[in-house]
Amino acid sequence: MSEAPPSAPQGARTLARRILAFAGVPFLSLLAPFLFLPVLARLAGADAWVAIALGQSVGGFAALIGGVGYPTLAPPQVALADAERRRRILATSLHVRVPVWVVAGAAGAAVAALLAPESHRVEAALMAVAISLAALAPTWFWIGVGRAAPILWSEVLPRMAATLAATLVLLAGGGVIWYPLLLMVAMIAGPAVVYALCAGSELVRVDRGEAGAVLRTHPPAVIAETAAGAYNALAVALVAGVTPVAQAARYVSGDKAYRIGQYAVTALGNALQGWVAEVSEQRAAFARRLRIAVLLHAGLGLVGLIAFAAVGPLLTEVLFGREVAIDRITALGFGVAALGIALGTACGRIGLVTLGARTAFMTCVLIAAVVGVAGLLLGGALAGAPGAAWGLGIAELASGIMQGVVLLALWRRRPAEAPR
């Protein structure tokens, strides 16, 4: 069975609305850090700037571990499940993720404190814990359901409120420490409401069989996500370990601007992942939707590359000040990374995962992770911020191309023959 041609215009309008909804929410989430970070860069000094970035970097990596693969694997499952099954998936996710998050968050706090400048170790540790709480966010659930509005009110708006409050405190002469503290409250309160409303009484019923199945089937996705995080989420920490504070501060500025491109790619991926998975059992419809997803991501990646090369240095100077602004070579490296992550999202997270080729997906990401970590460390040590940016760019582009080649090879086989 395939999609009927007469429904194509309506389907295009529905897809456009879905993309706009999922793009609008991350765009608002982008505004929150950029309320605080320019003030931090100008008022708190390079040590605080690097410490907060380190906490975000290490905390982001801890969140990947604590997420136990749900952001990658769960949206297609949710998209195909009925209402009762969705409640069980949501409840079981919390039963599995909370214990893992406790360990990952504590380890992240310790690592961030160890790497941070001595004057701001507490802030770095608290920032790591705050960001690690993203592991418990139910964003993946709403991606599977195809609704963006709950992400807005339960995650984005609380974080924006916390960030605005921290900015006002900093402008009034308060300490940087208020930022992670307020962010923690926001990142706990919003998701807690979602779990109470959407999972309800299922939260108190622990199904050990379901939890065990998750722990058996999710490791490839966890490995892939954490491997990617080794050169993505942990990039700032790795660069800070091999470069002087001044070079690390410049890399941080480029990394913050790079996140704009990442958010755009994430928004598009969130909009299309469930949309593609909905027709995964209809070969013709699936092929058409997957081609659309790949083309849209490739176009977005090219726009990101061009935009970074053209306005990256000016953007970081305007936002964060001339002292920590990036140069054009560094900007181009981050632009290449934006293209690579767009290709990887379409071909890997959407294509390979929906086909069930989790091991192939994990292998591609692991190979790219080795290249990425080596590139960040070697590039940062030899050439500072520009070298590290190009190390990241080469790794992301290699990963995206590799996943595209594997996806094409698998698609040419019968679906039943695709490796799991």
Which range scores top for mean pLDDT: 105-114, 279-288, 404-413?
Answer: 105-114
Confidence tier at 12 by pLDDT (50, 70, 90): low
User: Residues of the chain with pLDDT > 70: what percent?
Assistant: 88
Of 257 and 232, the one with more pLDDT: 257
- Phi, psi dihedral angles at 281 (to 5 degrees): -95, 0
What's the angle, vertex CA 337, arms to CA 333 and CA 339, rounded to 5? 120
What is residue 185's predicted lDDT score, i.e. its pLDDT? 95
Percentages of the chain per state (helix, strand, coil), in multiples of 5: 90, 0, 10
> Is the pLDDT at 5 greater than 50, yes or no?
no
What is residue 34's predicted lDDT score, i.e. its pLDDT? 65
Cβ neighbours of residue 139 closer than 8 Å, sequence gap 6 or more: 71, 151, 155, 270
Domain ranges within the chain, ordered by starting residue: 31-217, 218-420
Give the span between the Cα atoms of 355 and 407, in whole angstroms: 9
Give the span between the Cα atoms of 358 and 351, in whole angstroms: 10
What tokens appear for 225 in the block? 């996500």
Distances (CA, A) of 72 to 80, 176, 364, 371: 15, 33, 15, 22
> Is the pLDDT at 109 greater than 60, yes or no?
yes
Give the span between the Cα atoms of 417 and 420, in whole angstroms: 9
Distances (CA, A) of 316 to 304, 319, 324: 15, 5, 8
Question: Whole-prediction pTM value?
Answer: 0.69
Distances (CA, A) of 213 to 138, 209, 219: 19, 6, 11
Amino acid identity of 132? S
CB 186 within 8 A of CB 153: no
Burial (CB count within 10 angstroms: exposed 0-12, middle 13-18, buried 19+), residue 288: middle
What tokens appear for 237 in the block? 């920490």
CA 221 to chain CA centroid, nearest Å:
14
In the DSSP assignment, the letter for residue 69 is: T
CA 81 to chain CA centroid, nearest Å:
24
Give the span between the Cα atoms of 404 and 221, in whole angstroms: 17
CB 379 within 8 A of CB 403: no
